Amino acid sequence: MSKRVLVVDDAIFMRNMIKDIFASGGFEVVGEASNGLEAVEKHKELRPDLTTMDIVMPFKSGIDATREIIKQDENAVVIMCSALGQESLVMEAIEAGASDFIVKPFRAEDVLAVVRKVLGDA
Amino acid sequence: MTLDMSKYLALFVSEATDHLDALAHELVKLEKQPEQTSVDSMFRHAHSVKGMAAAMGYEHMAAIAHRLEDLVDAIRSDRSLVTRESVDLLLSATDALLGQVRAASEGNEVEEAPELEAELAACLASVVAPPGATTSLLDSSAGFRPPVAPVATGSAPAASSSDPRPASSTPASSAMPAMWADSSAPRFTVKLRIASGCQAPGPRAFLALKRLAKLGSIFDLNPAMEELRAGKISEGLISLELETGSSESSVWGSLDSVAEIEIASVVALESTRQPRKRPIGHPQSPPTGQEAAKTIRIRTELLDYFLDTVGELILATAQVREIGKGVPLALRPALEEGVDRLHGLVKDLHEKVMSARMTPLSTLTDRLPRPARDIARRRGKDVDLAVAGAEVELDRTIVESLSDPVLHILRNCIDHGIESKEERALAKKSERGNVQISVRRDRDRVILEIEDDGRGMDAEKLRTAAIERGFLTQQAASRLSHKETFMLSCLPGVSTAKDVSDISGRGVGMDAVKRAVEEVGGTLEIDSERGRGTRFSLQLPLTVSVVNLMLVGIGEEIVGVPVAKVLSALEVDSNALSKKGDGALLRHSRAVLPVRHLSDLLGIPGAEHAGARPYLVMEAESGKVALAVDKLLGQEEVVLKTLSRPLDLIPGLSGVTILGTGRPVFILDVPRLLVT
């Protein structure tokens, strides 16, 4: 059974790109969300094996959404999507319970390597 | 398996194989010298394979590697667990893993090995039950701990920039309940290494520390937290002390799910015991600084491609030179100057490519202790294998083609050469047999000798067997020199072994050994003394690809014969031959040689010869022969290319080359041509 993924990002382009990467890695993208509020809702509904989370998003930040998701499901695996220069935000997200992070620009191998590492533990 | 995974497969296979080979090698060493051998690197190999297998999704492989790791861990703390049986079990686990890696590399299913897993589990249960119970208790409590490690969890990141607390040797969590600061909890010095390509080292390190903090308290963090958070991590190395009730293997495993960072070493700090040093990284792949930057892994196919291409360049240069001879005189100097320069550059490049292909013989000899041990054990013998000079380098093709022959000789030495313990005792020899492999460079050759101190070969029996099988006459046999007699053992079917054991005697025989050595341009010599032992001496070229070729004309065709295989070349009038039945005999330096016509052997119509014609005197399996050819066209140094399917299946052809004129020429393996 392929692992089920929820992709959270406010940019459609980014979501598509991330979806392609996961598809190439044999993952099943089961849902998408474009902001933190939607992310928390979708996570509750879909219970994915893994969620990728943009940090800066409208309505509710990725960090706050992560904190709520972990509260909802302490075993949830959330991977932050960050860019260079967001180091302190990433560490804040790790404090909030994020399992790992990936750094833009994304390279498929790197993303999948991080994801597989994390899921190997889960 | 997804397409993407296949990208990692080759690397996984190569790295996992390296780890497992090294592990097997060290296990054999461990059995011999349990006290002096470091178990730490074994643990690391097992741990790496486990992690790699898990990352690739090979659950069954990871499961075995996991058990293997646990067992090695148990041995690490108690050397008395090193027994023949436990080493056997560990070796079979290593073999099973190698088999699984091979299956994976061939695209096959990685199969389960339930018996082996059960055996490993049973062995583990018998050795680690009591301490294991305590460990798991502590492990489970770790999850309920208050956040004792302030470096990772004590301060919110937002506030951290104003947090002046430096990491120090006192637990920064001094306000924490004393029960968690139990001074009797073991401490480990943990070194972490962040992958060089990591884009965000700060958060990466932070994440790793957070995971470690789940196990216990962190002290003596270096670099300090502030620098770490800012990503100021010199060479990606982090060190810290971890006080934890968890086992050392849990510490190793704590970062298994974190990418781009790995544990380089875990050293227990215990007052009662000596700290166990673990080298940072794999001994063969120096991890730090300049050394790492100087070497890279390269696919062997690529090396072969370089050699092929540079060979083509040499040919292309020769072609241009050839064409230049037809260019008007006025233009020639400039052209020739250009060609000379090109020639020089290509030659230089060729040299560099050849040196890149040089591989130490240790890649071969390192794999020998294991089979040596197994063969000796099966025969109930104790044999010490010593290797000297394995650092000598040869072209990798030669090293690879020697692998089977050397193993076969080693088998022969242990199986037939070394006597049983009783026999050795009677002969007043030490009970332990010795096999010595020594390698040395002798100008442009490499001499590889494999010598045992066993019973030696029986020359008389060899002669009798060879005569019985019709290889030579009684008379010829009596004329053979000492060394020539021992070479009779390389004739197919001639062996002094009384019985065909299950160890030697199968697969390749000494005839195949001799052929393999000769195929790479080497020669084999055997010397033996009754009661004292046998020495196999392999003389090898450093490189294979450039050979000196004798070009020979047969009718319209041109073929090549390696000059090294030609004993002499002469012109003889057909009247000078003596007749014998259908054939002819040629008198040459006090010997009478049977004449064979190359045109007949190749099935090519030859030219008519009224008077004198050239002959090549060559060594064949049945002795010397005179090979009749139409023309001797001279010698040329050529770049040898191996034949690809289906040409390589034709017996008697050993390769092909392309002359400067662009004409392809087959290189003949005359002894095999004569047999077929």
User: Does A88 sit within 8 Å of B200, measured CB to CB?
Assistant: no
Whether B200 has its CB under 8 Å from any CB of chain A: the answer is yes
**Cβ within 8 Å, pair A103-B3:** no
Contact between chains at B4 and A84 (C-beta distance less than 8 A): no
* Alpha-carbon distances of B310 from B150, B153, B346, B546, B636, rounded to whole Å: 60, 59, 7, 12, 18
CB atoms within 10 A of CB B423: 12
Q: Which residue of A has its CA nearest to B153?
A: A95
Nearest-by-CA chain A residue for B53: A120
Closest by Cβ to B157, choosing from A92, A99, A122: A92
| Residue B78: per-residue pLDDT | 80
The type of residue at B107 is G
Contact B207 A94 (CB under 8 A): yes
pLDDT of residue B31: 82
Give the nearest chain A residue to B5 (CA atoms).
A25
pLDDT of the residue at B559: 92
Q: Is B38 exposed, middle or buried (0-12, 13-18, 19+ CB in 10 A)?
A: middle
Q: What is the pLDDT of residue B165?
A: 41
Q: What is the spatial order of strands in the sheet that B612-620 belongs to?
A: B566-573, B612-620, B623-628, B591-597, B583-588, B578-580
The predicted-structure confidence for B598-651, as pLDDT tens digits, reads as follows 888 888 887 777 778 899 998 877 778 899 999 888 877 777 776 776 777 777
Q: How many A-B residue pairs are in contact by the CB < 8 A criterion?
A: 79
* A 10-49 → B contacts, CB under 8 A: 24-26
Q: Across the interface, do B258 and A117 touch by the CB < 8 Å criterion?
A: yes
**pLDDT number for residue A49:** 92
How confident is the model over B226-265, as pLDDT tens digits? 888 888 888 888 888 888 888 888 888 888 878 888 888 8
**Is the per-residue pLDDT at A5 higher than 90?**
yes
Interface of B with A in 260-279 (CB under 8 A): 260
Question: Domains in chain A, ordered, with CATH?
Answer: 4-106 (3.40.50.2300)
- When pLDDT is averaged across residues A74-95 and rounded to a whole number, the result is 85
pLDDT value of position B504: 47
Taking an 8 Å cut-off on Cβ atoms, the answer to whether B3 and A108 are in contact is: no
Q: The tokens 């086992």 sit on which residue?
A: B247
- From the number of C-beta atoms within 10 Å of its C-beta (0-12, 13-18, 19+), residue A74 rates as exposed
Contact B203 A25 (CB under 8 A): no
In whole angstroms, give the CA distance from residue A112 to residue A119: 10
* Contact across the interface for A94 and B7, Cβ inside 8 Å: no
The β-bridge partners of B552 are: B559, B632
At A77 the pLDDT is 92
Taking the Cβ of residue B382 and every Cβ of chain A, the question of whether any pair is shorter than 8 Å is answered with no
Note whether A83 contacts B: Cβ–Cβ < 8 A.
Answer: no
Shortest CA distance to B349 belongs to which of B312, B396, B300? B312
Q: What is the pLDDT of residue A70?
A: 92
Q: Using the beta-carbon criterion (under 8 Å), do B153 and A103 form an inter-chain contact?
A: no
Q: Is A74 near chain B, with CB under 8 Å?
A: no
Angle at B84 between CA B504 and CA B500, to 5 degrees: 15
Q: What residues of A are in contact with residue B256 (Cβ under 8 Å)? A: 117, 120-121
Positions of chain B with pLDDT lower than 70, given as ranges: 1-8, 36-37, 51, 55, 128-184, 270-295, 493-508, 544-546, 642, 645, 660, 662, 676
**Interface residue B5 vs chain A (CB under 8 A):** yes
Separation of alpha carbons B259 and B256, rounded Å? 8
Task: Please answer yes or no on whether A91 and B229 come within 8 Å at the CB atom.
Answer: yes
> pLDDT tier at A104 (50, 70, 90 boundaries)?
confident
pTM for this entry: 0.46
